Amino acid sequence: MRPALLAAAICVLLLVFGHVLTSSVVFAAVAAATTAAVGLTFVVFAGGIDLSIGAVALLSAALSGDLVSRAGFSGPIAVFMALAIGVLCGLLNGLLVTRAGLPPFVATFGVLCVAGAVAAGLPKPVTNQGQWFAPWVVWTVAAVVIVIAHVLFAHTVLGFRVYFAGTNETAAEHWGISVAGVRLMTYAASGGLAALAGVMAPGSVKGPIDVELIALGAVVLGGATLSGKRGTLIGSLLGAVFLELTGTALRSVGMDCYWWQGVLGVVVVGVATVNARLDRRRRTMQWHDRTNNP
């Protein structure tokens, strides 16, 4: 979907469900969703996929709460340790993909299972770590992440290398770009931002599937293909806002969360199918142009 259409859909949601969607809790959930979507966008643009971000977010939320309520750590230290765990999970994903040669789906699914099991095994924290941050802090952190990501994508050599690695791996290697190094970096960023999303708004982290579907759906709605050949950061961000607001609106009218996951899955598959068809049509038109105008 084009960013303009997503922006228009968000405006419609706010007009219809404004009494539900304008609370600080919803805004915190949107901030967490956009943060996770930024990390996944890095990975997808580099030609990979990360299925573990939901479990990593859940693990970071559970771990930080447990460190504060049971181990007696201060909030900043607990958050730092949770972020470090997220980065390590991302690095593990990257090493499994770039060094062990595993397909991204297999590698990140394995990390999803392990991180989810560890999070489930941790005792539930006595306090809600979401109370550590005022809403404006969460929004400010998300805004800083978005600005930094935009600068990296649009105005640095690193952003060019990420796009190049996902678009044409062979050509990127030919020009001296370490595709493995780029992808390792994107997986580390994805893990760290997933962990940050978990500690920013832990009350919205309901489970790995919920977070993962919203982030992946946001990237797909933003126009990205899972081969890394298209897409924009602003599209991913608007997709995350749209899906988070849509889920909140549907739950406010009584839709069960399981049905919402089903609706989200249908939307993701439908938009991905349309994007794939448009991509094939674009390639066919380009081939005809080259054939007719040698």
Residue 142 sits in a domain whose CATH number is 1.10.3470
| Percent with pLDDT over 90 in the chain | 30
Phi first, then psi: what are they for 232, rounded to 5°? -135, 155
CB-CB contact of 197 with 206 (8 Å): no
Q: Between residues 284 and 95, which one has the greater pLDDT?
A: 95
* Long-range contacts of the stretch 73-82 (C-beta < 8 A, 24+): 75/129, 75/132, 78/129, 79/132, 79/199, 82/195, 82/198, 82/199
Q: Count other C-beta atoms under 10 Å from residue 126's C-beta.
A: 10
Tokens of 59: 């693990």
Q: State the pLDDT at residue 194.
A: 94
Q: Tens digits of per-residue pLDDT, 161-216? A: 998 888 888 888 888 889 999 999 999 999 999 999 888 875 554 554 567 778 88
Model-level pTM? Answer: 0.86
Start-to-end Cα distance in the chain:
33
Q: State the pLDDT at residue 88.
A: 96
> Which range of residues forms the domain containing residue 239?
3-292
CB-CB contact of 26 with 248 (8 Å): yes
Domain tally, the chain? 1
